[in-house]
Amino acid sequence: MLKVILVVSGKGGTGKTTLTAGVGAALAQRGSRVLLIDGDCGLRNLDIVLGMSDRVVYSFADVAGGAVPLADAMAVHPDYETLYLLTAPVALPALSERGMEQLAVQAEEAGFDYVVIDGPAGLPAELSFLAHIATQAVVVTATDRACIRGAERCARKLEEEYCIQRIRMVLNRVRPRLITQGRSGNIDDAMDEAGLPLLGLVPEDVDLISCGNSGKSILAVKQGGAARAFRNIASRLEGERVPLMRI
């Protein structure tokens, strides 16, 4: 059965797009067929992180609007043959729930195991159309209190307005030294305040900067750090029990 995962954050700057790219690549490495959708209309950059700017032509809105079939619109990743991308439109067009449903149907008919949507930060109006086809959600947040508060509000909206019941949290860009020094919230406090189960921890990793700029997957660069965290999250999405990594 197709799993449609909406990746969101309460505010910008949490590393949501980098996480979407990394986990998508990790799922593809495991043999899953994965369609990534950049749902951040107007601020799209998932194609840059994936190194696919020269490959994308059509947006998810073109498919949802019936202008082009998914098979013709999606672009395959240069290094992972089971990883595909649909970019976001430059400007938000008129969307419909029916159109998004047809996109999901085409993805299932094409044999995809996962559709992972890099949603917009915050709670804009277009979130409703993306949430309409989601079977679960991942809220990405840092450990500071402002991010955690935004994550909690985002999760409540997904649950109460969009009826997404399976919502988990990823603590991203975790800095152990700051936590130890009491200059950043700790993991337990973040979980309590957000009221969400933890899907994974991702440490602050400077290699993500160079990888994001070059469009090269961090999974091809290293085994530890964020690369290991992305693989662990992919394993948990597949239903495996994986201990939290020490960071």
Domains of the chain by range and CATH?
3-237 (3.40.50.300)
Mean pLDDT of 16-28: 97
Question: How many helices and strands, by DSSP H and E, does the chain display?
Answer: 11, 8
- C-alpha dihedral (161, 162, 165, 169), degrees to nearest 10: -90
Q: Determine which of 82-86, 88-92, 95-99, 229-233 has the lowest per-residue pLDDT on average.
A: 88-92
With a pLDDT cut of 70, the percent of the chain lying above it is 96
Continuous segment of H or E residues that includes residue 204: none
Per-residue pLDDT of 47-86, as tens digits, reads 999 999 999 999 999 999 999 999 999 999 999 999 999 9
Residue 43, pLDDT score = 81
Beta carbons within 8 Å of 219's beta carbon, 6+ residues apart: 22, 25, 26, 29, 227, 230, 231
**106, 99 Cβ separation under 8 angstroms:** no
Q: Tell me what pLDDT residue 182 has.
A: 61
Q: What is the pLDDT of residue 183?
A: 62
